[in-house]
Amino acid sequence: MPASVPGSQTLDSVPLLDLQRQYEQIRAEVLAAVGRVCASQHYILGAEVEALERELASFCGAKDAIGCASGTDALWLALVAAGIQPGDHVFTTPFSFFASASAIARAGARPVFADIDPLTFNLDPAKVESHLRAGKHRALRALLPVHLYGQCADMDAFSQLAKEFDLALIEDAAQAIGARWRDASAGSLGESAAFSFYPTKNLSAYGDAGLVTTNSADAAAHMRRLRNHGGSRRYVHEEMGWNSRLDAIQAAILRVKLKFVDGWNQSRRERAAKYDQLFAASGLTSTGQQPENAAPIRLPQTSEHAHHVFHQYVVRAYRRDELREFLTARKIGNEIYYPIPLHLQPCFIYLGHLEGDFPEAERAAKEVLALPMFPELIEEEQRWVVQSIADFYC
């Protein structure tokens, strides 16, 4: 039976995310930045976006960055600039947000899936390699690993596969701003990388916004055309593009927040460590000497080479859906990221996949539960979350 959590107090509620606490810290700077844009009367692209692009390229260790309207658009821009065309195949994970695969389809290509590593939830390079060596996808042109929940995928392995099989390597870094693999930052590990600044992200706008980093001057110029209706000059369109320009107000807000993101990420890491400690003390998790099903909560692994920034703190939970109802009744925020693997989404029925094709992704979809995680989360709230989970399993 799970133990009680020392020091836990009954609380009225614990939010999954509380952006108000962050806003109170930076309110004056944000309002000044918005006022600066309003005074300039320049609302689309312009100096604020250019400054953000320089600052984020430097932050990620990349040569250039291209701001755009969303993280979904960032993925599409990266794929098209990498030369992905209709009929091409792109490898990605079946366990991710929908945009990881929909951006491939939007580029006219075919998403190809391999199963995940059950310990990290990231795309398993060994399973990708087995597909490649079997020669099953001769139209394959790119690898699109996702740095899920804020932990980089195994970029040593994917870089080697990309080199050996002559594939473009594009990072889906939507959840991983500030994450690192070994000593290199997300955004500098592939040919290009797509970031999202959706309001829930570690670095978040006050609306939709995205960005692509790259080390290729040609790719950067191409993406700048693509985001602006395919034109590099006003009313001259060299190709079919899209309206995916970044708002200056969002860029100005992101420039304010960028100064704080390393500190916020460190706070997330500390809160993740506290959760780990509380779960271990509660008896809710199994030890290395116990069988996998000996305890109701299982914690994912962080690779020894990864600097995890915990966009989400996610556990595997026995009787997950019932636990979720219990926590919701106590007004403890929680969410499932993601309840339906991509290969089973109705719009991808044409890919021909069936339930059972990617068992680890399907098992994760039935077990994962995200718990409250944000930099301003206090220890009393974490203790109440873990105590509540212990109460459920008593």
Mean pLDDT for all residues in the chain: 94
Residue 293 has a pLDDT of 60
Is the domain 261-393 a CATH 3.90.1150.10 member? Answer: yes
Residues 59-89 have pLDDT tens digits of 999 999 999 999 999 999 999 999 999 999 9
Share of the chain above pLDDT 90, in %: 88
Give the residue extent of every domain in the chain. Answer: 23-115+122-258, 261-393
Q: What is the pLDDT of residue 3?
A: 65
Residue 2: pLDDT over 80: no
Helix (H, G, I), strand (E, B) or coil at 216: coil
pLDDT in tens, 306-352: 999 999 999 999 999 999 999 999 999 999 999 999 999 999 999 99
Range 35-48 average pLDDT: 94
Could you report the per-residue pLDDT of 206-218, keeping only the tens digit for each? 999 999 999 999 9
Alpha-carbon span 293 to 296, nearest angstrom: 7
Q: What is the CATH number of domain 23-115+122-258?
A: 3.40.640.10
Burial class (CB in 10 A: 0-12, 13-18, 19+), 32: exposed
| pLDDT greater than 60 at residue 273 | yes
202 to 196, 210, 254, 267, 328: CA distances (angstroms) = 9, 13, 11, 11, 24
Read off the pLDDT of each residue in 223-245 and give the average, rounded to a whole number.
87
Residue 323, pLDDT score: 98
For residues 209 and 67, give the distance between their C-alpha atoms in angstroms, rounded to a whole number: 8
Q: How many CA atoms lie within 13 A of 134 on its CB side?
A: 8
Q: What is the pLDDT of residue 378?
A: 97
| 289 pLDDT tier (thresholds 50, 70, 90) | very low
Are the CB atoms for 167 and 161 separated by under 8 Å?
Answer: yes
What span, in angstroms and rounded, lies between the C-alpha atoms of 377 and 322? 24
CA separation for the pair 93, 115 (Å, rounded): 7
For range 114-128, the mean pLDDT: 97
- The pLDDT assigned to 288 comes to 42
Average pLDDT over residues 83-107: 97
